[in-house]
A and B are shown apart, each in its own frame.
Chain A
Amino acid sequence: MTGSRKLLIFGGIALAAFGMLYGLQYALFVEHQTLDHMGGSLAQSFAAAASRNLAQSQAALEQYGDTKYDYVRQVDAHSHWIGLAMLMIVLGVIFQRVNFSEGIRQLVAFSLLAGSALFPLAIILQTYHHGAMGLKALAVVSSGLVIAGLTATAWGFARPRTAA
């Protein structure tokens, strides 16, 4: 088995297991509390408005927005880690059909693995630093790595067979 296939299959299985572990710990220790907090903040915002306490209502609404911002990204990171991992395993099984030299295949595989690991990580880190430009840039670059890797893979599939 070539190095590029090993990288994709082993990396994919490891990333899938990591994504699932992350989802499990989130479901066990964070999710229910976060959902309660999110619903509670929105309810509190309306209740405060009913009591004509508009400052408290606005503060609770902002809290709702922040909590939802975090929740959406936590769930997105979990699903993207596992989804991208599955794609890597599939590609790993057929990567010998990508008609490039093994050196280029390894570069493409590394691009896919690095992008798949870093993209969800950048999403999660945004929950600690809302709107940080550096983390947004990391998310853009890492997703670009995955898209570039997949485009190269599709091109490799389409290229005529050579002895390479």
Chain B
Amino acid sequence: MPATPKSFPDRASSAPAKPALALAPHFAPMSARRLYIFGGIALIAAGLLFGDIFAVFILHQNAALQGEALIAASRAVAAGNAAAVNDVFSHLGNVLEDRGTKVDAHVHMIGAGYLALLLALVQPYIALSRQTKKSLATLFIAGGVFLPVGIFLIHYVGLTGSPFTAIGWASVLADSAGALLILVLIVQAWGFRQYLRSRQLSEPELPALERSGDSMPRRALLTGGTILVLLGFLHGAYYAGTLLYEHERMETEILQRLINAATSGNLDVVTTEVNNFGGLAAARAVNIAAHSHIIEFGLLAMLLSFVQPFVFLSEKWKRRWVKLLLGGSVILPVFVLLELKLGLLAGGIADVGGLMVLVGLVGMLVGILRYSGGLDVENYVESDAAEGAL
């Protein structure tokens, strides 16, 4: 039945400036680029959500458990009970593993998402067949999902049923997924080498900033992202230059004083030193978290600037999501740093910052889903019309 192609969506208020099909060659149905963009944003959003949940419900409680364990170990030292000390440290190891694997799962999920978005950008320069690229994209997203899942499960699976002395099945899953990501990257590098020899783009490049009609969100993301990354670098350099070595020295000094106090049975000093130890751990954690988050958000903003032409929302809503994302990207690291002075209030505001980034990201993902869905409908209508004409 003949049909007339029409623009979408129907509501003019939410229509973007350009016809959807103008960018169709850049975003073919079920292409590698589409998989990388959807998968990448989904992985980043899931990683951010997991990080926020972890920060609110686990992080501080876990730090309290560490302090309690150190007090218990000191009491055992004061009582001269070496067996009890070992029991306490066995428990402390579990507490630290619980925290460490969750942090690692959060970091690796987001990292894999970033790499997926990066690979979406460089697909035109990867001289491989369309099917190979699509298979690689599927493998990459699968690896990006299983790597953090495997890391998360390490604490719960442990060495159950494992033939190895130190590595459990969850580690095997995580390591295998990591190897899969490496394999995909190596094949991509080989494809890039092939491109350098042939000089033939395998698909259209993403639209340039200058040609984009909706350049404000892209420019804001690109400029804001670059500034955030630069600020993160400067903060990292400051931390490494002035605090890193001092903090490392302080840790062993505090522990030494703690042990001495426990040995002499002075439990008041023990409590003071445990508090000092907790304060030092917090100072290190907030500095490292601020450094890594501001750079990650900067990189995310830069990456998202490339996919803006595919965000099928009105200019007003695009700007809103960009402002929300950039605002959250500043609020989270700044208030993480202020946690040392303002305590949990700053922590709560930082969590809200993380949520702002997450909401901005999901808003953009919804726009991309609308774009791809509409594009597929137009393709379908066009092919239907062509069949009808025959």
A interface, CB within 8 angstroms of B: 1, 6, 9-10, 13-14, 16-17, 20-21, 23-24, 27-28, 32-33, 35-36, 39, 42-43, 45-52, 54, 57-58, 61-62, 64-65, 68-69, 72, 79, 82-83, 86-87, 89-90, 92-94, 97, 139-140, 143, 146-147, 150-151, 153-154, 157-158
Complexed CA–CA distance, A78 and B330 (Å): 25
Chain A residue with minimal CB distance to B90? Answer: A43
Docked-complex contact B303 and A90, CB < 8 angstroms: yes
Nearest B residue to A75 via CB reads B104
Are B233 and A150 within 8 A (Cβ)? yes
Q: Contact check, A42 vs B252: say whether CB atoms are below 8 A apart.
A: no
- Evaluate contact between A93 and B86: CB separation under 8 angstroms: no
A97-B306 Cα distance, complex, nearest whole Å: 13
Q: Is B227 an interface residue (CB 8 A)?
A: yes
CB distance from A112 to the nearest CB of B (A): 11
CB atoms of B89 and A43 under 8 A apart: yes
Given contacts A61-B259, A154-B230, contact A79 B89 (CB under 8 A): no
Jot down 10 A-B pairs with beta carbons below 8 A, ordered by A.
A1-B196, A14-B189, A20-B181, A27-B175, A39-B89, A46-B74, A46-B76, A61-B259, A93-B206, A143-B236
Contact A157 B223 (CB under 8 A): yes
User: Can you list, as one digit per residue, whether each of B88-119 has a CB less than 8 Å from chain A (1) or not (0)?
Assistant: 11101100110000000001000100110010
- Look across to chain A and name the residue whose beta carbon is closest to the beta carbon of B205: A93
B313 within 8 A of A: no
Cα(A140)–Cα(B171), bound, Å:
35
Distance to closest chain A CB from B195 (angstroms)? 8
Q: Does the CB pair B118–A89 fall under 8 Å? A: yes
The reply to whether B196 and A150 form a contact with Cβ atoms under 8 Å apart is: no
* A52 and B263 within 8 A (CB): yes
Task: Report if A9-B166 is in contact (Cβ < 8 Å); known contacts: A50-B77, A157-B223.
Answer: no
Query: Which residue on B lies nearest to A13, using beta carbons?
Result: B189
- Whether A23 contacts B178 by the Cβ 8 Å rule is yes
B305-349 CB mask vs A (1 if < 8 Å, else 0) is 010000000000000000000000000000000000000000000
Known: A83-B295, A89-B122. A45 touches B259 (CB 8 A): yes
* A46 with B259, Cβ < 8 A, contacts A9-B192, A79-B107, A86-B118 known: yes
The docked-state distance in angstroms from the alpha carbon of A64 to that of B303 is 40
Cβ < 8 Å to A, chain B residues 160-187 = 166-167, 171, 174-175, 178-179, 181-182, 185-186
Bound CA span A1–B299, Å: 23
A residues less than 8 Å from B302 (CB atoms): 90
Q: Which residue of A lies closest to B237 (CB)?
A: A143
- The answer to whether A50 touches B85, judged by C-beta atoms less than 8 angstroms apart, is yes
Tell me which residues across on chain A come within 8 A of B259, comparing CB atoms: 45-46, 49, 57, 61
Find out whether the CB atom of B248 lies under 8 angstroms from the CB atom of A6: no
Known A-B contacts A17-B182, A49-B263, A151-B230; A86 and B86 likewise in contact (beta carbons under 8 Å): no
Partner of A10, one of B79, B96, B189, B226: B189
- Given contact pairs A6-B196, A13-B185, A150-B229, enumerate 13 new A-B contacts (beta carbons under 8 Å): A16-B115, A27-B171, A46-B89, A49-B259, A50-B85, A69-B248, A83-B295, A86-B114, A86-B299, A89-B118, A94-B222, A97-B209, A143-B237
A46 → B minimal CB distance (Å): 5
| A46 in complex: contacting residue of B77, B114, B167, B181, CB < 8 Å | B77
With the chains together, A33 CA to B92 CA distance in Å?
Answer: 17
Residues on the A chain within 8 Å of B233, using CB? 143, 146-147, 150
**Would you call B255 and A45 a contact (CB within 8 A)?**
yes
- For residue B62, CB closer than 8 A to chain A, the reply is no
A49 adjacent to B77 (CB under 8 Å): yes
Interface status of B80 (Cβ within 8 A of chain A): yes
Known contacts: A57-B259, A90-B303, A93-B306. The answer to whether A13 contacts B188 by CB under 8 A is yes
Contacts of B296 in A (CB 8 A): 83
Q: Is the CB of A9 within 8 A of B111?
A: no
Give the CA-CA distance A135 to B297 in the complex, in Å: 30
Indicate whether B251 reaches chain A with its CB closer than 8 angstroms. Answer: yes
B44 to chain A minimum Cβ distance, whole angstroms, is 12
The answer to whether A32 touches B166 (Cβ under 8 A) is yes
A24 vs B185: C-alpha distance in the bound complex, in angstroms? 14
Q: A1-B125, A28-B167, A65-B248 are in contact. Are A49 and B230 (CB under 8 A)?
A: no
Q: A13-B185, A43-B85 are in contact. Are A51 and B167 (CB under 8 A)?
A: no
Q: Which of A23, A46, A62 has the most CB of B within 10 A?
A: A46
- The CA of A57 and the CA of B179, in the complex, are separated in Å by 40
